[in-house]
Structure 1
Amino acid sequence: MAGSVAQREALEKLEDRHLNNFLGAPFHAEVCFPRLIIPFCGPIKGGMRPGKKILVMGIVDLNPESFEISLTCGDSEDPPADVAMELKAIFTDKQLIRNSCISGERGEEQSAIPYFPFIPDQPFRVEILCEHPGFRVIVDGRQLFDFYHRIETLSAIDTIKISGDLQITKLG
C-alpha cells in the first residue's frame, strides 16, 4: 500500500512539472521548457472563473503578420469548440480584433483600442483577467480593453490556444 502512495506522489510531482498543469498559477516556463512550441494548445486547469488570471509572455517575431490568443471550450476540431474570446493582433493594420464563435456562429467583432501595443522583435506581457462581466485584458501593465462574456458557463472555458508570429517565453 505504501508503495502505491509513493508511486502516486512521484507521478503527481512529475505531472506538476508539466506546463499544462500550471495554467492558473504563474511559473517560469524556461525551467522545464526552453521554448514553447507554436501553435500551442493546452488546458486551463479548472476552467475560468472570476478572479482567475492567465499570463502570456513572449516575443513578437521580427517580421510578423499576425498572432492569435484564444480561450476555448475544449480543443475539438470537428465540431469546432466554442471560442469564448479570440484575440488577433494584425500588424499590417495595427489592429487588435476580438470576437467569439459559439455553436459555429461568430459574434460581433470588436477592434477599438487606444493604441497598438505590440512591436516586432520586442517582448510583451498579456494578462487576461476573468471578472464577473467579462475579460479584462492588460498588455505591458496597461489596461487595453474589456471583452464581455458571451459564454455563460465560465468553467467551460478550459483551453488556451496560441498561434502565429511569436514565441512564448512564459505561460501561467
Structure 2
Amino acid sequence: QAWETARPDAFAKLDDGHLNNSLGSPVQADVYFPRLIVPFCGHIKGGMRPGKKVLVMGIVDLNPESFAISLTCGDSEDPPADVAIELKAVFTDRQLLRNSCISGERGEEQSAIPYFPFIPDQPFRVEILCEHPRFRVFVDGHQLFDFYHRVQTLSAIDTIKINGDLQITKLG
C-alpha cells in the first residue's frame, strides 16, 4: 500500500474517493495525499487502529531549525483539533520532543531519546506504528521511543500534519 508520486499532478481525486493516475488506471492507497508540499495536511483513511502504520519519508533542509509531524483528530483550526501525538525535531538542542494537546490542554512533554537521528540535508524515514496502548516510533528502521495513547478513540485520529524545515518525498 505504499506509493510514491514522482509528479504531484499525475493524480486526480475522483468523486467516489478512488484515484486515477494520468493514464486512467486506478490507484489503491490507504492514505492518499495529493501534493507533498510543506506545510502539509492530509487525511488518514479510516483513522488509526492497532497494527496501522504511518510512514513519512523526507529530506531535512540544509539549515534546519525544526520540523514537526502531528497526528490529529481532524483538521479543525477553531476550535483546534485534538493532537494525539506531535513529534517536533529541534536542531539547536538536538531534541525530539513529543506531546499531545487535548481540548486545548497540552500534555506532559517527553524528550528522552537514545540519540538524535536527523541530519541536515539528509534523507530520513519516520514510521509511526499504532499499537493498542501506544504509538511506537521508528526512525530509519531503529525504534526510538514509545508514546502511550492520550486520545483513547484511535479511529478519531484521522489527519497528519507536517510543517517546518523539511521536504516530504513519500507518505504512506
Alignment correspondent of 1:16: 19
Give TM-score scaled by structure 2 length.
Answer: 0.84
Alignment of 1:20-99 (within 5 A): 22-24=29-31, 36-99=36-99
Residue type at the aligned position of 1:95: Q
Residue type at the aligned position of 1:22: A
Alignment correspondent of 2:9: none
Q: Equivalent pairs: percent with the same residue?
A: 81
Per residue, is there more helix in 1 or in 2?
1
Structure 1: which 5+ residue stretches go unaligned?
1-9
Per residue, is there more strand in 1 or in 2?
2
Deviation at 1:14, TM superposition (A): 7.9
Deviation at 1:128, TM superposition (A): 0.4
Secondary structure of the residue that 2:100 maps to in structure 1?
A: strand
Larger Rg: 1
Taking the aligned partners of 2:30 and 2:58, their CA distance within structure 1 comes to 16
- Give the total of aligned pairs: 154
Cα contact 1:84–1:157 (8 A) shared by 2: yes
Alignment correspondent of 1:6: none
Deviation at 1:17, TM superposition (A): 4.4
Residue type at the aligned position of 1:16: L
Deviation at 1:23, TM superposition (A): 4.5
Alignment correspondent of 2:164: 164
Taking the aligned partners of 2:45 and 2:144, their CA distance within structure 1 comes to 25
Taking the aligned partners of 1:22 and 1:128, their CA distance within structure 2 comes to 17
For 1:8-41, what per-residue CA distance to the aligned partner results, in whole angstroms no more than 9, with x for missing partners?
A: xx946884248xx83548xxx8xx85xx110000
Alignment correspondent of 1:117: 117
Cα contact 2:14–2:20 (8 A) shared by 1: no
Root-mean-square deviation over aligned CA pairs: 2.2
Give TM-score scaled by structure 1 length.
Answer: 0.84
Structure 2: which 5+ residue stretches go unaligned?
1-12, 22-27
